Structure 1
Amino acid sequence: MLTVMITTGMTTTNILQYDLRPSTKLSLDDIYEYAHLLGALSGLANRDMPRLFTIYTDSDLRWLSYMNSINWPDDANYTIVTSIVDLVQRLSDHIKGVVLYDPKVPATSNLASTASGVYDLIPICYKPTPNSLYTQLVEQGPHLSIKLNFVGMFVGNITGSAKTDAYIWAAEHFLDSKLADSTYLGYYIDKWWSQSPKASEVIFENLAVNHDWIIKNRGFVFDLSPWDDEAPNDDPNQPLGNDYNTLIKLLQKAYQQHNGTKFSTVSGFVPWLFKYVDEKHEGVPSEWRMAHVMSAFNIVIDADACCVDTFANAAFFSHYALTQTKHRFIQNSLPSREQLIQQGLMNEQNIVSNRTYILYYGGDYDSAAWVANKFKNLWDDPKRGSVPVAWAINPNLYDRFPLLHSYLYETRTKNDFFVSGDSGSGYLNPTQLFEPRMFSGLPHADDLWIERNRYYYNKFNIKHTGFVINGDAGPLTNNSDLMYTKFSPLGFTRQQGYTKLGETALIPGTRVPSFTETDLADNNEVQQVLSYYKPGSVRFVVFRGVLRSATNYANISENVQKIQPNITFVDPYTFALLARIYLSRNDSINNDLVSYVNDNLPEIVNNGDLITVNFSIRNEGWNILNNLSLKLIFACNSEFIFNWNTEIKHGNIGSATYQFQVECNQPGEYKVIYQLFRGNTSFEDFGNVPWISSVKLI
């Protein structure tokens, strides 16, 4: 045991550190079981504050170094623990016993994870052999008591499959009762992983450590095939459609738990490397099938997809968000009309110059595991900032890995911009939010999606959706396009081949542009980009890269412009503003754009309180802002209108202070909304999302 202290102040945060890497030298069964145990210990120990940090991959060391550099957790005192028995004993205050799972029914390992979060138990496989975790922790050592035992409990007498019997029981026991919170779902391969012929080649792909986030939040873990036309390879003798039918029942119960009033997030992914994929159903179709099904039940995907998906410390990292509860993440401001003219991108008559405008979409970062494992090295590239890139970091990943966003926003250059990846604040198929909803038959959820995205897009100052993917759900529709105009005012880029609007278009009746993406080739990208040049005309092209470095984008741009200088690489805001004015032929279309950058509205109030509040607004448009009004909707939907006489020039932030009295005698949680008005016209009509937060009246 070794203690490492990093102190700068009076207080310390005591943290246990455990190195899980030696377990990877053990048998496949042990690799899974140790990772599973550490996932549970992390979820339980880190539920209320950061107490346990696990070293499993190089990513853990990278972020540990970063945390130390910013002194978070405050004055951390790391005690290195090398014995699993010692670690369990040190965390005994957070453990109420053992949930025992059955190696003959691998699905029970996932039931054990759910039970772990619900009952504060640690999952252990029943394996009474020398040196097994069962022997070390139950029969010997701390002699932990067995509180829940799944061994021999499921034999297939209900559905014809022990696997699906287990999940039917779990859905009824944990979801119907609301013991497990269905807003936190985990789709992770079960203990069958250690039987897979491929497991020895990819030992970190067991993903059992990833359960920590679900366990911390008392969520629900499963692993079922989304296909209904063949039996899964992990349970080939089950009746046809058993896995799929069980999955649908589970998702129905997850939806019913909150009656469709919120979105659930499923962390994880269909385990296509090991299961449910063959000559009939390949990897990408299986991904699309999963998204198609999940979307129908108001579930977004935090896609821990092979093969950069091991993520050991989400429960630990999540506490960083508590240091920034009122923080808003503000991006670079939009370019002014004068700046675009000076750059030769348009003239004094607002005519867009004849060029081919290229936007790089840097993705696909729709998984907290992917950004934790890959993104810091790509971001720290010395050439970052030499060419504009729209980095597609899904904003909902902040919940599970908030450490990343602060680092990115603090270290961005003038050429780094953040957009949302597929398909906004979580990966789903947007047309599946409209009736009729295949697989579920549930009521529409477009309003709920708009509300969710407004929250995240406001928090992270996002104005463009980088990739709207609809997979097997078919073409995008006018309804789905209009839905995105409500929270993504500077447009969205859609999956190629999913619209009739063409490569670049304004959504009919709106100011919002939409674009079609093109995937960058795996080689000869320079010729690919050159092939899209349109001489003597204006063209807007989005090139999508996946896990590419800033150096890669910079080198492509440099080589392209040597050959064709009329191809211009721009940021997403320049791209959108030029497209808006080019497509609309409207000189005023970019005049009234703003970002709501700050306010000091209280989170808790009493009826009759006199509130003094300061609002700060940045002018992103081409008008000077003045002679406006600011409408505030507060508790009990009380409406207050203030004169906004603060003049704000483009790119500047203006502030104003007002007073109002709380007029509400009904305790509860209320929405807070504010928006600028020009006369009777809301700035929402000009493409500005109102600020939406909440207040609690006590």
Structure 2
Amino acid sequence: MVSRRTFLAGSGAVAAGGLGWFQTGPATATGQVGSGLVSAAHSGGGRRLLPTFARPRHLHYGDVSKLSGGDQTLLTTLQGVVNRSRPELYFLYSPGGADGVDARWLRNTGVPATRYADPLDLVAKYRHRVRGAILHDPEVPDSLNVATTLAGLENAVVADAAQAKAHGLRVVKDLRGLFDDDRLKTYRWQLEHLFPRCSHQLLAGLPPTMVVQAENVTWREIARETRQIRDESNRGTYTLDVSPALGQDAVYVRFQDSFGDDGWGPSILSLTAKANGTTLATFRPGTPEEAPYLFDGVNSSIGAAGNRFADGGGYFIYKFTPPAGTTSLTVTVEMWNQYLVTATDTAPTRIEPFPYFRDYVVATKALVSWLPPNGPTGELLKEHFAAVGPTTPYAGWFANDVAGEWSGVDLAAQGGSEVLPADFYMNGTVLSGVAAPISNKVRKFTPITPKKKIYVTLTFGEGDNVQYCQRHMRDLWDDPRRGDAPVNWTVSPLLADIGPAILSHYQRTATRNDLLICGPSGAGYTYPGAWPADQLDAYFQLSGTYLRRTGMDLVYAYNHRENDAWVPFSETIGRGYAEHTQLRGIIQSWEKGDLLVRRGGLPVIGNFSPPGKAAEYRAALDQHTKSWTGDAPLFIAGAINAWSWTPSDVAELAELLTAPYELVLGNVFFDALNRVL
């Protein structure tokens, strides 16, 4: 009998072939760069898009969840240099100790491991494996990315001066004073001087800093919308008295969603702050006048009307510094939808270096930047894409939240690059080297004869994010009610390279009610309609390779946007999917649920994405289908918000979907749809 531990460790107890499993692991020596890193283009067993690493034999690990971002960056870049030869270092970033998600994956690897109570002791243990430290300039945040690129090229770690001294690290390069706050100039220098020495197998995009929540902050509630309003019907001018928060030198005013599970948080169009009746600040969001007061806007976006908004778990914070002796402080805002306004006199956050995914960047000797995809920085980002070949992945993420996502993915597509959302993917150098069996067999199912019913298939989104697959999806997957109701789970087929043990775990532990389907929009997140016509087939061919390797025949996909709306797939795009992949159907991101066409012979259905939880979702389905006459089957591809729903919520919805609804998995759904469309 083969235990799960042995099986996930890749013992080979289940042979490739008969059961449709192939073994992942290190390639032959001809594909190696250095002694352990495996080149993507030359690895054995077929083309790999992403570099992988040798199979780890023993891991040294520690819990870094309570360390500063600076210390985490030091350790993560050390991990990149050491693990390039063979993975030896693994870190627990998530809280929860042995129950945290990083600890669970470590156990699943089956690799023997030694725990270090103080993970910083590993710097001394492995100091002889690095040449020294690249010192970043704390006054110039983007220098951290330049230091990371150099660390990969020079076999060094990234540190500040105090860290280098404390750990006895020789200074290989000191970046202090070499750059200023001109981001464009910094990254152009890097492109011209460092990129020729870098690996061209991927580009990386990582923020140099992150916002860390401060401890022991007390927020006072100032105003709350208690109704679930999504239509601006409460739009008005509100004067908020934040005087109770006066005490220290400054007051911080936070706007967030009063209902965090449906995506209709606060929007503001203008703000005026007055101290003792005298105007302290007045501005509209997104303007230069706002900038001095916007303390934390990372988790918010600017809307089409110039409004700043934050949905779900997002928020934005303004900082006002009234004159000494101020006894009255008011904030007047034009505001609408589901707002919760709170205030404090304690700085609620601090800025620290962003450490994540840097092990993979350093180990692969990739160029890492952080260029907002609009304006002059967007033009420089275009030059990055032009410097690499078609289908070269951009791994990481983009600045400016949702707006940055749409414009960034679009810009990458125009440059012939797909995106691998991976900025919070931890221990990539270890997880890409752990051997694990992955099934390449398409899931079998029993077809149904379509009847006069409303067939619904539900899909958890976000699976293009390998960090989601590694972190939040694992928490959802471990929900005790998973399997009670049929649901599709989007995952990235690129996990076959960068996390085979993760994908193998989901394949092996899926119930009969769990179906893994490909996340947007194939082998990497992209908008096919934005690709150059002469390069698009290369993306479809790549996607076909990975879909066949991972046994997936359905995809949740995006196309490009025009006038702030999604564009249906063209016949050319549908034909590309049909000719180069084994897809039986496509769910296109659409939200309104009123798209149903054939493209290239494949059925394409737009998803339906109502707000709220189970009861509200059922009510929205009733409203959406009220014109159905019952004379023929009707098909609805329902979207499930992975950040606010759980399998328990899906099970609750399933109990409400009585006749005429029938809830089915995606393979059954598209088989039936193909018969009637």
TM-score range, shorter chain: 0.5 to 0.7
- Residue 544 (structure 1) aligned with residue 622 (structure 2): no
- Residue 333 (structure 1) aligned with residue 444 (structure 2): yes
Residue type matched to 1:515 in 2? I
Tell me which of 300, 304, 307 is aligned to 2:418.
300
The corresponding residue for 1:146 is 171
Residue type matched to 2:572 in 1? N
CA distance in 1, matches of 2:56, 2:656: 52
The 1:471/1:117 distance shift into structure 2, 3 A limit, reads: farther
The 1:201/1:526 distance shift into structure 2, 3 A limit, reads: farther
1:396-422 deviations in Å (ceiling 9; x for gaps): 134333222111111111121111121
RMSD: 3.0
CA distance in 2, matches of 1:383, 1:15: 33
TM-aligned CA deviation for residue 221 of structure 1: 0.8
Tell me which of 369, 382, 389 is aligned to 1:222.
369
Tell me which of 104, 114, 120 is aligned to 1:66.
104
8 A contact 1:386–1:554 mirrored in 2: yes
The 1:513/1:204 distance shift into structure 2, 3 A limit, reads: farther
1:326-353 deviations in Å (ceiling 9; x for gaps): x4343530324xxx2xxxxx2xxxxx31
The 1:227/1:22 distance shift into structure 2, 3 A limit, reads: same
CA distance in 2, matches of 1:580, 1:22: 52
1:113-140 deviations in Å (ceiling 9; x for gaps): 11111221111224xxxxx313313xxx
- Residue 213 (structure 1) aligned with residue 360 (structure 2): yes
Tell me which of 520, 534, 550 is aligned to 2:610.
520
Identical pairs, percent: 17
Residue type matched to 1:16 in 2? H
What stretches of structure 1 of length at least 5 have no aligned partner?
1-5, 24-30, 127-131, 156-160, 229-240, 273-282, 341-345, 347-351, 436-443, 584-698
- Residue 577 (structure 1) aligned with residue 671 (structure 2): yes
8 A contact 2:553–2:582 mirrored in 1: yes
8 A contact 1:311–1:369 mirrored in 2: yes
TM-aligned CA deviation for residue 110 of structure 1: 0.1
CA distance in 1, matches of 2:632, 2:76: 56
1:445-483 deviations in Å (ceiling 9; x for gaps): 112112111111001111111233424584432212222
TM-aligned CA deviation for residue 81 of structure 1: 4.9
8 A contact 1:331–1:418 mirrored in 2: no
TM-aligned CA deviation for residue 15 of structure 1: 2.4
The 1:145/1:379 distance shift into structure 2, 3 A limit, reads: same
The corresponding residue for 1:424 is 522
The 1:289/1:17 distance shift into structure 2, 3 A limit, reads: same
- Residue 449 (structure 1) aligned with residue 567 (structure 2): no
CA distance in 2, matches of 1:287, 1:218: 25
The 1:251/1:285 distance shift into structure 2, 3 A limit, reads: same
CA distance in 2, matches of 1:579, 1:79: 52
- Residue 362 (structure 1) aligned with residue 460 (structure 2): yes
TM-aligned CA deviation for residue 525 of structure 1: 0.8
Residue type matched to 2:91 in 1? T
**What is the correspondence of 1:195-344 to structure 2 with a 5 Å cutoff?**
197-198=295-296, 201=348, 207-228=354-375, 241=376, 243-253=377-387, 255=388, 259-260=389-390, 263-272=391-400, 283-304=401-422, 310-320=424-434, 322-324=435-437, 327-336=438-447, 340=448
CA distance in 1, matches of 2:667, 2:56: 43
**What is the correspondence of 1:482-501 to structure 2 with a 5 Å cutoff?**
482-486=575-579, 487-496=581-590
The corresponding residue for 1:82 is 118
The 1:197/1:543 distance shift into structure 2, 3 A limit, reads: same
TM-score normalised per structure 2:
0.66
The corresponding residue for 2:23 is none
What stretches of structure 2 of length at least 5 have no aligned partner?
1-5, 10-54, 213-291, 299-346
The corresponding residue for 2:502 is 404
8 A contact 2:483–2:512 mirrored in 1: yes
CA distance in 2, matches of 1:106, 1:53: 26
1:285-324 deviations in Å (ceiling 9; x for gaps): 22101111111122222224xxxx644322222211x344
- Residue 169 (structure 1) aligned with residue 189 (structure 2): yes
Equivalent pairs counted in the alignment come to: 485
The 1:203/1:379 distance shift into structure 2, 3 A limit, reads: farther
CA distance in 2, matches of 1:468, 1:247: 22
The 1:191/1:286 distance shift into structure 2, 3 A limit, reads: closer
8 A contact 1:506–1:580 mirrored in 2: no
Residue type matched to 1:19 in 2? D
TM-aligned CA deviation for residue 71 of structure 1: 6.0
TM-aligned CA deviation for residue 209 of structure 1: 2.5
TM-aligned CA deviation for residue 265 of structure 1: 2.1
Moved more, 374-383 or 570-579: 374-383
CA distance in 1, matches of 2:496, 2:81: 20
The 1:206/1:581 distance shift into structure 2, 3 A limit, reads: farther
Tell me which of 136, 142, 145 is aligned to 1:101.
136
8 A contact 1:358–1:541 mirrored in 2: yes
The 1:60/1:573 distance shift into structure 2, 3 A limit, reads: farther
TM-aligned CA deviation for residue 529 of structure 1: 2.0
**Does the residue aligned with 2:543 lie in a helix, a strand or coil?**
helix
The corresponding residue for 1:181 is 199
1:124-173 deviations in Å (ceiling 9; x for gaps): 224xxxxx313313xxxx2x222223222235xxxxx6422221121122
Higher helix proportion (structure 1 or 2): 1
1:218-255 deviations in Å (ceiling 9; x for gaps): 11110112121xxxxxxxxxxxx3x23322223322x2
CA distance in 1, matches of 2:654, 2:205: 39
Tell me which of 391, 405, 413 is aligned to 2:489.
391
The corresponding residue for 1:663 is none
TM-aligned CA deviation for residue 358 of structure 1: 0.5
TM-score normalised per structure 1:
0.64
The 1:121/1:81 distance shift into structure 2, 3 A limit, reads: farther
1:627-684 deviations in Å (ceiling 9; x for gaps): xxxxxxxxxxxxxxxxxxxxxxxxxxxxxxxxxxxxxxxxxxxxxxxxxxxxxxxxxx
TM-aligned CA deviation for residue 181 of structure 1: 1.9
Moved more, 446-455 or 190-199: 190-199
**Does the residue aligned with 1:18 lie in a helix, a strand or coil?**
strand
- Residue 133 (structure 1) aligned with residue 261 (structure 2): no
TM-aligned CA deviation for residue 78 of structure 1: 0.5
**What is the correspondence of 1:678-693 to structure 2 with a 5 Å cutoff?**
none
Residue type matched to 1:265 in 2? P
8 A contact 1:530–1:560 mirrored in 2: no
CA distance in 2, matches of 1:515, 1:59: 40
Residue type matched to 2:191 in 1? A
1:561-598 deviations in Å (ceiling 9; x for gaps): 1xxx1211111111111111112xxxxxxxxxxxxxxx
**What is the correspondence of 1:465-484 to structure 2 with a 5 Å cutoff?**
465-472=555-562, 474-484=567-577
Residue type matched to 2:71 in 1? Y
8 A contact 1:318–1:399 mirrored in 2: yes
CA distance in 2, matches of 1:570, 1:296: 36
The 1:516/1:17 distance shift into structure 2, 3 A limit, reads: same
- Residue 434 (structure 1) aligned with residue 527 (structure 2): no
The corresponding residue for 1:37 is 74
The corresponding residue for 1:120 is 155
CA distance in 2, matches of 1:313, 1:203: 25
Residue type matched to 1:332 in 2? R
Relative contact order, higher structure (CA 8 A, sep 6+):
2
